[in-house]
Amino acid sequence: MSSNLFNLEGKTALITGGNGGIGLGIAKGFAVSGADIAIAGRNENKTVEAIASLSDTNSTLLGLEVDVSDQNSVEKMVADTLKKFGKIDILVNNAGIGIRNLPHEYSLEDWNKVIDINLTGAFLCSKAVYGNMKDRGSGKIINIGSMTSIFGLDWAVAYASSKGGIVQLTKTLAVSWAKDGIQANSILPGWIHTDLTQGIKDNYQERYDHILSRIPENRWGEPSDLSGTAIFLASDASNYVTGISIPVDGGYTSF
Ligand code: NDP
């Protein structure tokens, strides 16, 4: 047994949506634990800034452009990561968007966009890294779900459906690929301060405060709050843990 079960030295992690918010919080945690990191997003400027914010670590870094809902783009992202690092030990399916509207007013176009990025994207990225992980007999897939993987939310019909799907995708990947040495798990973040939720704070103060009143830890989370659980699920410490979804939510789901 390793003296430090949580050590990620010598491992390569690919993080979609790693150029901001929760993805960057996880990238920072992985860097401290010694992993080399590829971060991929759509916005090139954000990716350049994110790479710069990690440059004082010992990690070898790679920034990539990807649209996770596009299979060719995903395959190129994986090929470019393999070209640079030769392997992918850890995939974090973190890229995600939300479009808010009530179910009866939700357009098919918006529904498809959210499902394509949040759920199909995670499927495509997992499928694309499978060959390399299988060939080496090990791999860690970490999917980012949400409180809406569990709860309903009036203005999040497509988002909640995609995040519910993430839990089942995780179980299916875990069951299918355990024989290949691959573990797949999800993190279900609570309410975290990022660009995605900034609009609630700015425009819906009452809703923001109501959510806060439901969090036993009595604060919204920060991206760095996710890194400990992500390191656990990326490391040898979780080699017998697969198919589960862990809320990291300040107690929100227990209240
Ligand atoms: P951000 O908006 O900060 O991050 C979303 C990330 O996804 C960005 O880096 C963005 O990159 C990337 N992204 C979006 N669409 C695509 C795409 N088509 N292809 C590639 N990358 C894409 O929000 P969060 O950090 O909050 O969100 C990260 C994940 O956490 C999401 O899956 C979200 O659903 C989930 N989550 C967030 C919670 C919160 O309270 N903040 C709670 C629960 C879950 P770019 O800007 O370059 O497009």
Question: Is 209 a domain residue?
Answer: no
Question: Is 117 a domain residue?
Answer: yes
Measured in Å, residue 19 CA sits from the centre of ligand 1 at 9
Cα 11 from chain centre: 17
Q: What is the tens place of the pLDDT at every residue in 79-108?
A: 999 999 999 999 999 999 999 999 999 999
31, 50, 114, 128 from 43: Cα distances, Å: 21, 11, 18, 21
State the pLDDT at residue 3: 73
Question: Is 212 a domain residue?
Answer: no
Question: Is 205 a domain residue?
Answer: no
Q: Please give the Cα distance from 160 to 217 (Å, whole number).
A: 24
Q: Where in the sequence numbering do the catalytic residues fall?
A: 159
Question: Is 210 a domain residue?
Answer: no
Cβ atoms 17, 23 nearer than 8 A: yes
Measured in Å, residue 18 CA sits from the centre of ligand 1 at 8
Number of domains in the chain: 1
Q: What is the tens place of the pLDDT at every residue in 193-235?
A: 999 999 999 999 999 999 999 999 999 999 999 999 999 999 9
Q: Whose CA is nearest to atom 39 of ligand 1?
A: 192
Question: Is 79 a domain residue?
Answer: yes
Question: Is 149 a domain residue?
Answer: yes
Residues with CB under 6 A from ligand 1: 16-17, 19-23, 41-43, 46, 66-69, 94-97, 117, 144, 146, 189, 191-192, 194-197
Q: Whose CA is nearest to atom 32 of ligand 1?
A: 96
State the pLDDT at residue 1: 66
Measured in Å, residue 20 CA sits from the centre of ligand 1 at 8
Question: Is 201 a domain residue?
Answer: no
Please name which of 118, 143, 115, 116 lies closest in space to residue 129, comparing C-alpha atoms: 143
Q: Please give the Cα distance from 59 to 9 (Å, whole number).
A: 9
Buried-exposed string 35-61: b where 16+ CB fall within 10 A, e elsewhere: bbbbbbbeeeebbeebbeebeebebeb
Cβ atoms 30, 152 nearer than 8 A: no
Q: Whose CA is nearest to atom 17 of ligand 1?
A: 67
Measured in Å, residue 3 CA sits from the centre of ligand 1 at 34
Which stretches in the chain have pLDDT values below 50? none
Ligand 1, closest atom to CA 117? 18
Which structural domain range is residue 96 located in? 12-192+223-254
Q: 127: domain CATH number?
A: 3.40.50.720
